[in-house]
Amino acid sequence: MAIPLRPTRSRPLAAERRWWLALASLLAILMLGVMAAAAVGSAIQTGVRAYVGGEGLWSKAEKDAVIDLQRFSETHDEADWEEYRVEIAVTLGDRQARLELERPTPDDAAVFAGFTAGRNAPEDVPSLAMLFRTFRHLSFIDRAIAIWTEADAEIDGLQALAGRIRVAVVANDDAALTRLRRDLDGSNDRLTRLESDFSQTLGDGARWVQAVLLIVMAAILGLLVAITATVGRSILNHLRAADIQAAETLRASEARLRLLVDHLPAIAWTTDVDLLVTSMTGEGLACLGLAEDAFTGRAVTGQFDPQVEVEREGRVALASAHREALLGHSGSYRVMVSERTSQAHVQPVRVDGRIVGVVGLALDLTDRLELEARLERSTRLESIGRLAGGVAHDFNNFLTAITGYADLLTTSLPEGDQRHDAEEILRAARRASDLTSQLLAFGRRQVLKSEIVSPNDVIMDMRNMIERLIGDDIVLELDLDPRLPDVLADQGQLEQVVLNLTVNARDAMPAGGRLTIATSRTTMDPSAVDGARGPGAATTDAVAIRVQDTGVGMNEATRSRIFEPFFTTKGRGKGTGLGLSTVYGIVEQSGGAIRVESTPGSGSAFTVVMAAAVGSVSALRDAATGRRASD
């Protein structure tokens, strides 16, 4: 069956995308135009409103200044003169702002100071400055500024006239004052005319801006209506094409899905609300030798085809999962079908929020489980082999001592029966060493034989063996506390701990060095044994056995893993990684703790801490027995 990989399109995709992009761009431009026009109109209207308000304040101050000046010419009262100066300063503040705005780079602070001195509201200052700077080229704004400039010149004349009035008042020249009052009336008339022209100019400009905005908005609205009509027709056409395309896409999708499900290495099925199978497909059916309609119409909770063997537990799980799915719960279970293991998943099918059936998928896990079992077996065999190598490693440590002593005996004894016996011991030890390589499987669970043991005595008894083991390149130093208490431990296991730590120290000093074994009194307080590994116990008297070397040392990454089984830094064939893990296990099982101190190039120190033996021997042994039981 030929399946189209991509449905045909009634319109090329690239052209359609360009069309919609162009339409979106045009709409965006129109919207930006509306926003820009609204913003410009709002800014101009706000500025005009601020200037109209400012003109009222300016006009009032000018009128008050003229009145104060006339009163001063009549009363000769200095208070009237001061009132005049206060009011005339308002008009001078607006002049300061205008002159600063005329500069190429005006000082905003000076502009603000000028407008506020003119009694304009501080929040109106930005609008006043913006309208002056940005829209100066508009004819009505330019005309208003020209009137403003002319009014400022008239204010200069008013100030000069005020100066002459003050001189006449001081001279008490009534004739001059009469003439100056007439001049003052003329100046006031001219300023009144300019104020009227200023307000009318701004009003005409505001009405012009409003008319322009209405025209622009009407034009944009017309374009939007035209575009909306065009887009509406296009959308209708697109929806018709989309319906056709959706039908084609659905048919192609169903065909691809059918092809996928038919070749899926599984079994997929659907049921209705009565749990009757409505469809079943998948390559898994072929593995069972069944046709797709083998179960159609049958209940998944009933009997299966006689040629399909389903374990009872699987049938129960199958029925339960489908019933749970009808309640809205998804489920997963494992089932054996004709000696093949499958992992089945079922979940409800909802249409408009209502459960109308169940859909299921069963993946065949038989091959995967078989591979996992093989991997598990090979891993277990590998682990057993490593463990056997570890046992051989530990056993060879003892054989090394036996071989060493036997070798000493053979070289020190004269010819005779005793030397012959020593040679037999040596040959047997060597044969035992060969046999360790032939171990095929091994398993061990340590059984401690706890007894009162003196760590000092154990170390002294092992001294000769240790010296033989480490060789002539390494100097052995013992620093044993003579007041050291005994411990409750398995002597053989304690010897194993000392021996493994000694071997580890020896391997860390390939060029020779110094090995120090020390004992001391301590406590099991965690703060006193910082960084200890092991369960530890409550604060109590304890014994510390410290094995220190001057070898290569370890970095933090290595130190954090040294007690992991099979972890080793030695070369291939030179270590199994079980020596220190064995030490850790023995110390842990003995109720002790172990800590490690090491720095690259400065050697390492292992400190084993074990509780001191306090009390009767029988009580201590009972405690040890209880500890083994808990382990």
Maximum average pLDDT range among 180-184, 245-249, 331-335, 394-398: 180-184
Poorest-confidence range of 111-115, 224-228, 320-324, 587-591?
A: 320-324
pLDDT at 463 > cutoff 60: yes
Which CATH number goes with the domain that contains 348? 3.30.450.20
pLDDT value at residue 476 = 95
**Same domain as 491, residue 578:** yes
Segment 580-589 shows an average pLDDT of 80
Nearest partner of 206 among 37, 32, 51, judged by Cα: 51
Look over the chain and give the mean of its residue pLDDT values, rounded to a whole number: 75
- 156's CB contacts (< 8 A; 6+ apart) are none
H or E stretch covering 364: strand 354-364
- 500's CB contacts (< 8 A; 6+ apart) are 394, 397, 579, 580, 582, 583
Segment 442-462 shows an average pLDDT of 76
Per-residue confidence at 630, pLDDT binned at 50, 70, 90?
A: very low
- 60's CB contacts (< 8 A; 6+ apart) are none
Counting Cα atoms < 13 Å in the Cβ hemisphere of 372 gives 5
Predicted model pTM: 0.34
pLDDT value at residue 264 = 66
Which CATH number goes with the domain that contains 520? 3.30.565.10
pLDDT value at residue 628 = 45
Segment 245-258 shows an average pLDDT of 77
pLDDT tens-place string over residues 267-316:
777 888 777 788 777 776 666 666 767 677 777 655 454 445 555 555 66
**Same domain as 464, residue 440:** no
What is the layout of strands, in order, in the sheet containing 340-351? 277-281, 266-271, 354-364, 340-351, 331-337
pLDDT value at residue 394 = 72
The torsion region of residue 278 among left (phi > 0), alpha (psi -120 to 50) and beta comes to alpha
463 is in which domain, residue-wise?
Answer: 448-630
**Same domain as 389, residue 313:** no
Domain count, the chain: 4
pLDDT value at residue 498 = 94
Q: Which has more pLDDT, 485 or 377?
A: 485
Does residue 548 fall inside a structural domain? yes
Tokens, residue 517: 């074994």
- 261's CB contacts (< 8 A; 6+ apart) are 268, 281, 282
pLDDT value at residue 441 = 31
Does residue 127 fall inside a structural domain? yes
**Same domain as 266, residue 170:** no
Does residue 407 fall inside a structural domain? yes
Q: From 402, 425, 444, give the residue that closes a domain.
A: 444
Q: From 423, 444, 465, give the residue that closes a domain.
A: 444
pLDDT tens-place string over residues 154-211:
888 888 888 888 888 888 888 888 888 888 888 888 888 887 887 787 777 777 777 7
Q: From 364, 393, 423, give the residue that closes a domain.
A: 364
pLDDT at 410 > cutoff 80: yes
Q: Which has more pLDDT, 254 or 454?
A: 454
**Same domain as 139, residue 53:** yes
CA 438 from centroid of its chain's CA atoms: 53
Cβ proximity of 317 and 343 under 8 Å: no
Q: Which has more pLDDT, 600 or 360?
A: 600
Segment 367-384 shows an average pLDDT of 58
pLDDT tens-place string over residues 556-569:
888 888 887 667 77
**Same domain as 273, residue 175:** no
**Same domain as 198, residue 71:** yes
**Same domain as 483, residue 432:** no
Cβ proximity of 335 and 300 under 8 Å: no
Poorest-confidence range of 181-190, 365-374, 516-525, 616-625?
A: 616-625
pLDDT value at residue 454 = 94
Does residue 303 fall inside a structural domain? yes
**Same domain as 505, residue 531:** yes
**Same domain as 570, residue 514:** yes
Does residue 220 fall inside a structural domain? no
User: Beta-carbon neighbour count of residue 170 at 10 Å?
Assistant: 9
Does residue 40 fall inside a structural domain? no
CA dist 335 and 626 (Å) reads: 45
Does residue 525 fall inside a structural domain? yes
pLDDT value at residue 385 = 47
pLDDT tens-place string over residues 486-530:
999 888 889 989 998 999 999 999 999 999 999 999 988 644 444
**Same domain as 504, residue 404:** no
Poorest-confidence range of 99-113, 231-245, 382-396?
A: 382-396
**Same domain as 603, residue 465:** yes
Per-residue confidence at 440, pLDDT binned at 50, 70, 90?
A: very low
Beta bridge partners of 335: 342
Tokens, residue 115: 């407008």
